[in-house]
A = this chain, B = another copy of it.
Amino acid sequence: MSEEIERKFLLNELPADIATWPQPAAILQGYLQKDQHKDLRIRKKGNKYTLTAKHGTGLVREENEQEIDKTLFDILWPFTAEARIEKLRYTRVIDEGEMVIDKYLGDLSGLLLMEVEFNDEQLARTYSPPLNFAKEVTDDPRYRNAALAAHGTPAI
């Protein structure tokens, strides 16, 4: 089990230097369950399959992840039909921790979200993002992936 300390920002555009970042990973994910307080997700990233339980909302969330095999993923996938997401994930290490930009595809095409995962809570509180962004959405439940998968892109 691990705790995530992260802030989330809605971007207007990809960073100008995105071509110099490492190649993005194609992610396919679906939700087996989701409500206001917890969600249960499966994900395919390259040839790696994971199941992740998240509890809590906002800045600090508890996360419990385990790798699963393709057979189990294939059994579970039909149960995610109502809530799926496809995206390209750009990832870069920064001084404060890790910067992740998700470029959504499919129904959510056009949506760009940046998450910064911090090494500690103090860094999270004082951080100011270098990029041009529309607004911070850390505490906006409409921008949780489970909500995006179910309800689509929020009106700003």
**A33 to chain B: closest residue by CB:** B79
Tell me which of B38, B53, B75 contacts A53 (CB under 8 A). B75
Interface residue tally for chain A (C-beta within 8 Å) = 16
A68 contacts the other chain (CB 8 A) = yes
CA distance A32 to B30 in the complex (A): 14
Main secondary structure of the interface of A (DSSP, over half): strand
In the complex, the answer to whether A72 meets B68 with C-beta atoms within 8 Å is: yes
CA distance A17 to B68 in the complex (A): 44
Given A32-B33, A33-B32, A33-B33, A40-B79 contact (CB < 8 Å): yes
Q: Which residues of A approach B to under 8 Å, CB–CB?
A: 32-33, 38, 40, 51, 53, 55, 64, 66, 68, 71-72, 75-76, 78-79
